[in-house]
Amino acid sequence: MDNYVDDKKFSPLADKMRPTKIEEFIGQEHIINNNSPLFKAIKNKRVGSSIFYGPPGTGKTTLASIIASSCDGIFKKLNAISSGVSDAKQIIKEARANLRLLNKRTYLLLDECHRWSKAQSDSLLEAIEEGSIIFIGSTTENPYTSMTRALVSRSFVYEFKPLTNQNVVEALTGAIINKERGYGNLNIEISKENLNLIASFSGGDIRKSLNILEYCVNTNYNEEKIAIDSDTIKQIAQNFKLSLNEDIFYDMLSAYCKSIRGSDADSALFYANKLIDSGIDPLILSRRLIAHSSEEVCYNVQTLYTRNYQRYTA
C-alpha cells in the first residue's frame, strides 16, 4: 500500500473537475433542465440509447458517464477510430453476462461514432434491441447524414451546442474554489474580467478553458499567492489555438466561400477569423478571394481581381 497513488492526483485539471452528478453538469439547458425528458429519464434511471452530437468540449462524454453512474450501470467506452467489431463483440458478451448475473446494464459510449461503417454499426443492433447494452454515440457530425439509418432510428438524438461564456466562467470558478478536486487550497487572484478573457479564448469549450487555467497556475505557482493577469492569459492562450480536423477545415472553408458568394460579410469575417485562429495560412483565404473575384463576380471584375491580387502579393 505504500506505493499506492491516487489515480486523480496527477490528472489534468479538466479530468479532475469532470462532473460526476447530473446536478454538477454545466450548460446544454435546452436538453438538461428540471422539466426536460432526458433529465427525468436520468432521475428515473430509464435512459434509452442516445446519440449526442455537437462541438468538442461541450459535455457529451461527461453526460454519458453521468448517465451510466446515475442509472447504476457499467460504463464502457470505445473510440470508433481505433476499435472495431471484435471490440464491440467482447463488450456485448460481457454486457450479457453482467445483465444475467448482476442485473446491471452496460452503457457503451462510442466516441467518433460516425466513423464506423455500416457493418460495424450493425454489429450493435441486436444487443441494443435486446436491451443488454444502452448505446450512447458521441460525434461532432450530424448523425442524420453521417451515420447508418438503422442505428439512428434506435436512438434518441440530442444536439449539444457551444457553451456560453457564462457557462465557461461557471466551470472556471468551480475549479478555483473546489478544495477536493480543484484549486480551493491555493490563493489564486484572478479578476472576473480575466475569467471572461479565458472563456473568450476557449470558444465554448470547457476542457480548453480549464487547460488554459491550469497552465496559468503552473507557470505562476507561488505558495503565498498566484496572480493571473491578462498578459499571462493571452500568452498562454496562443498555445491552445483551435485545432481543426480535415473534415471540419473543409466545412469551414466551404462556409467562408458560401458567405462571400451570398454577400454575407459578417459570416465571411466570422469564418475567416475561426480559420485563422486555427492556425491556417491566411494566404489560403486570399487565394479564395482571388478565385471568387475572377470566376463568380459579374461587375467590375478586373478592378476587384486586381485589388485582391495586389493584397495577396503584398
- DSSP track, 82-141: T--HHHHHHHHHHHHHHHHHT---EEEEEETGGGS-HHHHHTTHHHHHHTSEEEEEEESS
Q: What gap in Å lies between CA 138 and CA 112, rounded to an integer?
A: 6
pLDDT at 5: 43
Q: Are 84 and 120 in contact (CB under 8 A)?
A: yes
Of 157, 165, 141, the C-alpha closest to 26 is 165
**DSSP state letters, 213-252:** HHHHHHHT--SS-EE--HHHHHHHHGGG-----HHHHHHH
Instruction: Give residues with Cβ within 8 angstroms of 277, minimum separation 6.
Output: 241, 242
pLDDT at 133: 94
pLDDT at 29: 93
Helix (H) / strand (E) containing 76: strand 74-79
Q: What gap in Å lies between CA 50 and CA 34, rounded to an integer?
A: 19
pLDDT at 3: 47
Residue 23 is which amino acid? Answer: E
Q: What gap in Å lies between CA 115 and CA 111, rounded to an integer?
A: 9
Residues 98-126 have pLDDT tens digits of 999 999 999 999 988 998 999 999 999 99
Q: What gap in Å lies between CA 145 and CA 147, rounded to an integer?
A: 6
pLDDT at 11: 85
pLDDT at 274: 76
Q: Are 213 and 47 in contact (CB under 8 A)?
A: no
Instruction: Give residues with Cβ within 8 angstroms of 265, minimum separation 6.
Output: 259
pTM comes to: 0.69
pLDDT at 276: 76
pLDDT at 141: 85
Residues 45-57 have pLDDT tens digits of 999 999 999 888 8
Residues 228-277 have pLDDT tens digits of 999 999 988 877 665 555 556 667 777 787 777 777 788 788 878 877 77
Residue 212 is which amino acid? Answer: I
Per-residue pLDDT of the chain (314 residues; tens, 9 = 90+): 444 345 566 789 999 999 989 999 999 999 999 999 999 999 999 999 999 998 888 899 899 989 988 988 899 999 888 889 999 999 999 999 999 999 999 999 998 899 899 999 999 999 999 999 999 999 988 899 889 999 999 999 999 988 999 999 999 999 999 999 999 999 999 999 999 999 988 878 898 899 999 999 998 888 789 999 999 999 888 776 655 555 566 677 777 877 777 777 887 888 788 777 766 777 778 777 777 666 655 545 555 545 555 554 55
Q: Are 247 and 139 in contact (CB under 8 A)?
A: no
Q: Indicate the DSSP class of residue 51.
A: E
Q: What gap in Å lies between CA 226 and CA 241, rounded to an integer?
A: 24
pLDDT at 246: 56
Residue 79 is which amino acid? Answer: N
Reduce the secondary structure of 20-32 to three states and give it as a string.
CCHHHCCCCCCCC
Domains of the chain: 28-159 (3.40.50.300), 165-240 (1.10.8.60), 246-313 (1.20.272.10)
